[in-house]
Amino acid sequence: MTARIAPVPPTGNAPDIQELLDFGTEGTGGASNVFLTLARNPELFRGWMAFTSDFYTPTALAPRHRELLILRTAWRCRSDYEWGQHVRMAHAAGLTDAEITAVTGDIDAAAWSATDAALLQTVDELIDDHTVAPSTWAALARDFDEAHLIEVLLLVGSYIGLAGFLNAVGVEREAGVSGLPTTHQPTTGQKEKNRCLA
């Protein structure tokens, strides 16, 4: 699929936009097309970068937890670009190949810790029901304070929205970045078409 909105050039943009583009690409280890495309709306791009960069600060969720949430969101929303970029980032955060594969399957079928399972279940519930069940919330609250509970919800919501943008616009993966696995693994609680409903 050809991208519906062409990215801006990688260089030569307005100085503040170029600084954000360089910062985003460097910080993600090479995910440039998402930023170059969002920069077609400079005002929204500035605000979006200010918001999403807070998910990557030293006081934010641990990188492992962040990447589990994003990978599950990318898988459930069938976002090829989001999945490919965050597989790389998940490896950098310490997730194994086996864990990344297990993100695409039934939560109960893998040997997840209670914390990891609660995070993955949260993604499914936010996508399927737009809320979090009391039992899942209680499991999260055992490990996360209120500030991080808010972060979990806003992180997932942000990446659901980003997945929709990436899918609708057809943002192309960078060379050498793999997309979604071709083998479908059923996911407990998944809606029939296994797609993001938000």
Question: Per-residue DSSP letters for 167-190?
Answer: HHHTPPPPTT---S-SS----TT-
- With vertex at residue 67, the alpha carbon angle to CA 193 and CA 180, rounded to the nearest 5 degrees, is 40
Q: Which of 109, 136, 134 minimizes the C-alpha distance to 122?
A: 136
Output the pLDDT for position 193.
42
Q: Is the pLDDT of residue 198 over 50?
A: no
pLDDT band, very low/low/confident/very high, at 82 (cuts 50, 70, 90): very high
- By the 8 A CB rule, do 19 and 12 touch? no
pLDDT digits (tens, 9 = 90+) for 34-70: 999 999 999 999 999 999 999 999 999 999 999 999 9
Contacts of 184 (CB under 8 A, 6+ apart): 194
What is the per-residue pLDDT for 191? 45
3-state secondary structure of 36: helix
Q: Higher-confidence residue: 189 or 16?
A: 16
Residue 195 has pLDDT above 50, yes or no: no
DSSP string, 71-86: HHHHHHTT-HHHHHHH
* Residue 169 one-letter amino acid: V
CA-CA distance, 65 to 119, in Å (whole number)? 7
Contact 21, 13 (CB under 8 A): yes
Average pLDDT over the chain, rounded to an integer: 92
Domains and CATH numbers, the chain: 15-56 (no CATH), 63-169 (1.20.1290.10)
pLDDT, residue 110, reads 87
Percent of the residues in the chain that have a pLDDT greater than 90, as a whole number: 86
pLDDT at 29: 85
pLDDT digits (tens, 9 = 90+) for 145-166: 999 999 999 999 999 999 999 9
- pLDDT at position 27: 87
DSSP for 137-173, written as a single string: HHHHHTT--HHHHHHHHHHHHHHHHHHHHHHHHTPPP
Q: What are the pLDDT digits (tens) for 54-63?
A: 999 999 999 9
Q: Is the pLDDT of residue 186 over 70?
A: no
- Nearest by Cα to 178 from 102, 71, 20, 73: 71
